[in-house]
């Protein structure tokens, strides 16, 4: 009888211990918060790392759902701990990659704006040397308008830089540079044509 009571007591303690298994909610909350904070920048500057973190979150959610579906005595959250750690690590990587990507985009945009400004200055100087004569007034006015638009686009690129929209700033600067270089090449073509 005493042996039976000891066995029943052991089983009762075991049932309480196993039956009370609960998910590591604080760790889950911390890892999820880490993912949420990474999302803002990572969606634009580290999309691959963010996707990996979101996949880790989906795996964690699936595991939690699988454990919830089990009878309380059979639930185990050991694998959940691994998935929480994986989510936290991948979220932190997404945040770090986003910061690096943002810095790279900022540098690229700064370079692009400088290049566009130089191209605009060169195009204005070339336009001053453009051959003038009968039938060239309309072409010269069109090229001046193109350079005015390019200058405006560079101003927009600088505004985008101030707003930390680096990809947008680079795109605008690249467009302005292309426009300025187009004017320079048109002027050069006109100069070359006049020589012949």
The pTM of the full predicted model, rounded to 2 decimals, is: 0.72
Q: What's the rounded Cα separation, in Å, for the pair 34 and 132? A: 64
Q: What's the rounded Cα separation, in Å, for the pair 166 and 171? A: 9
8 A C-beta contact, residue 190 and residue 133: no
Structure tokens at 21: 């298994």
- Residue from 30, 9, 154 nearest 91 by CA: 30
Quick one: how many helices (H) and strands (E) in the chain?
6, 0
Residue 15 is predicted with a pLDDT of: 47
8 A C-beta contact, residue 186 and residue 147: no
Q: What's the rounded Cα separation, in Å, for the pair 94 and 40? A: 10
Between 31 and 2, residue with greater pLDDT: 31
- Average pLDDT of span 39-68: 93
8 A C-beta contact, residue 137 and residue 167: no
Give 2-10 contacts, CB < 8 A, sequence gap 24+. Answer: none
Q: What's the rounded Cα separation, in Å, for the pair 35 and 61? A: 13
Q: What's the rounded Cα separation, in Å, for the pair 37 and 60? A: 18
Q: What's the rounded Cα separation, in Å, for the pair 106 and 108? A: 5
Q: What is the chain's Cα-based Rg? A: 32
**17 has pLDDT over 50:** no
Taking only the tens place, the pLDDT of each residue in 93-106 is: 999 999 999 999 99
Taking only the tens place, the pLDDT of each residue in 145-186 is: 999 999 999 999 999 999 999 999 999 999 999 999 999 999
């Amino acid at each position: 009888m005493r042996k039976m009571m000891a066995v029943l007591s052991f089983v009762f303690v075991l049932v309480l211990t196993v039956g009370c298994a609960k998910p590591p909610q604080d760790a889950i909350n911390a890892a999820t918060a880490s993912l949420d904070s990474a999302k803002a920048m990572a969606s634009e500057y580290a999309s691959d790392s963010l996707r990996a973190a979101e996949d880790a979150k989906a795996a964690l959610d699936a595991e939690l759902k699988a454990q919830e579906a089990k009878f309380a005595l059979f639930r185990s959250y050991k694998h959940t701990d691994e998935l929480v750690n994986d989510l936290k690590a991948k979220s932190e990587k997404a945040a770090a990659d986003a910061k690096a990507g943002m810095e790279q985009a900022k540098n690229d945009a700064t370079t692009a704006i400088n290049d566009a400004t130089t191209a605009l200055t060169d195009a204005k100087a070339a336009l001053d040397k453009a051959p003038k004569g009968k039938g060239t007034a309309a072409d010269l006015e069109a090229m001046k308008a193109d350079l005015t638009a390019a200058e405006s686009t560079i101003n927009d690129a600088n505004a985008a830089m101030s707003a930390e929209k680096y990809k947008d700033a680079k795109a605008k600067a690249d467009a302005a540079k292309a426009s300025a270089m187009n004017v320079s090449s048109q002027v050069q073509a006109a100069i070359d044509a006049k020589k012949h």
